[in-house]
C-alpha cells in the first residue's frame, strides 16, 4: 500500500539535544511538507519542498532544518534553537508540483516531548 | 496573506441530527478550499475540496460542503451525524495566485452523542 511513514511515533529528548524526525513516502509525490500541531492552534507550516534538493521556509521555520536529497524522503531536524519543541509533527505530500488543487496526504505523525 | 477561521472550538450534536462545521476564509485571489478530518493521534484525512463549478461539493463518508463566495464561507455539513463522526475537523485554503502554501484553520472538535 502506498502512503507516508513517519517514525518514530513517540520521541522523547532532553532539552539542548537535536533530534531528527523521519518522513518517507512511496506515493511518487513531488511536494512534501512539515507541519507542527499544537492544541487549539491548528497546523502551522514549518518547511516545504516542491522538488529534490530544494526547499522553502514556512511560517515557523526558526529552530528547524530539513533536507531533500531523495524524492521519497524529507527528514526534519528539531534543533536546540527551537524554544518550544514539544508538539505533534505531521509530514505530508502532494502529487504534483504546482498542482494546487491536489489534496495533501498525511502521515500519522510523531509526538515529540522535550524535557 | 491568506487565512482561515473556524469560529467554533467544539460542536456538539445528537446522533441522527444534522451536523454543520463552519469555516470562513480570506484570500487575495480565487480559493481552493479543503476539509480534512483527524482522529486521535493520527494524521489528517482528506474529506472534500472545492476547486470550481458547483457550489455544493460532495465528499467522503456522506459529508458535503457549500461554497459561498459572497460570504467567503465553506461550511461542512452532514445530514445525519454518526457517533463515529466524532473527531477534529480542519478547513484549509490555497490561494490560486499565492503559490503552493496551504493554510489551515484552528480546527473544530465535533462530538456526536448517542
Report pLDDT digits (tens) over A6-58: 999 999 999 999 999 999 999 999 999 999 999 877 899 999 998 999 999 99
Min Cα–Cα distance to chain A from B101, Å: 8
Alpha-helical (H) ranges within A22-113 are none
3-state helix, strand, coil in chain A (%, to 5): 0, 50, 50
Q: How far is B96 from chain A (nearest CA, A)?
A: 7
> pLDDT over 70 for what percent of chain B?
96
Residues 6+ apart with CB under 8 A from A5: A22, A23, A24, A25, A107
Region A82-102: mean pLDDT is 84
Contact A113, A90 (CB under 8 A): no
Q: How confident is the model at residue A89 (pLDDT cuts 50, 70, 90)?
A: very high
3-class DSSP state of B111: strand
The grid coordinates listed for B1 are 496573506
A11: region left, alpha or beta (phi > 0 left; psi from -120 to 50 alpha) = beta
Whether A98 sits inside 8 A of B44 (CB atoms) is no
CB contact under 8 A, A108 and B51: no
Find where cell 465528499 sits. B59
Confidence band for A113, pLDDT divided at 50, 70 and 90: very high
- What are the chain B neighbours of A100 within 8 Å (beta carbons)? 32, 94, 96, 99-100
A44-69 per-residue burial string, b: 16 or more CB within 10 A, e: under 16: bbbbbbbeeeebeebeebeebbbebe
Amino acid at each position: 500500500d502506498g502512503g507516508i511513514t513517519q517514525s518514530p511515533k513517540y520521541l522523547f529528548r532532553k532539552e539542548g539535544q537535536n533530534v531528527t524526525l523521519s518522513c518517507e513516502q512511496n506515493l511518487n509525490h513531488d511536494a512534501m511538507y512539515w507541519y507542527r500541531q499544537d492544541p487549539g492552534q491548528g497546523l502551522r507550516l514549518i518547511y516545504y519542498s516542491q522538488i529534490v534538493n530544494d526547499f522553502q521556509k514556512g511560517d515557523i521555520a526558526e529552530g528547524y532544518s530539513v533536507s531533500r536529497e531523495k524524492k521519497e524522503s524529507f527528514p526534519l531536524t528539531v534543533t536546540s534553537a527551537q524554544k518550544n519543541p514539544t508538539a505533534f509533527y505531521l509530514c505530508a505530500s502532494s502529487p504534483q508540483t504546482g498542482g494546487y488543487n491536489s489534496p495533501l496526504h498525511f502521515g500519522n505523525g510523531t509526538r515529540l516531548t522535550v524535557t | 496573506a491568506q487565512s482561515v477561521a473556524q469560529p467554533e472550538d467544539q460542536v456538539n450534536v445528537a446522533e441522527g441530527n444534522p451536523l454543520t462545521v463552519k469555516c470562513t476564509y480570506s484570500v487575495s485571489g480565487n480559493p481552493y478550499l479543503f476539509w480534512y478530518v483527524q482522529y486521535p493521534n493520527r494524521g489528517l484525512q482528506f474529506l472534500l475540496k472545492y476547486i470550481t463549478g458547483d457550489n455544493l461539493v460532495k465528499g467522503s463518508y456522506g459529508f458535503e460542503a457549500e461554497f459561498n463566495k459572497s460570504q467567503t464561507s465553506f461550511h461542512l455539513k452532514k445530514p445525519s451525524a454518526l457517533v463515529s463522526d466524532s473527531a477534529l475537523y480542519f478547513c484549509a485554503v490555497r490561494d490560486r495566485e499565492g503559490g503552493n502554501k496551504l493554510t489551515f484553520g484552528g480546527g473544530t472538535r465535533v462530538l456526536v452523542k448517542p
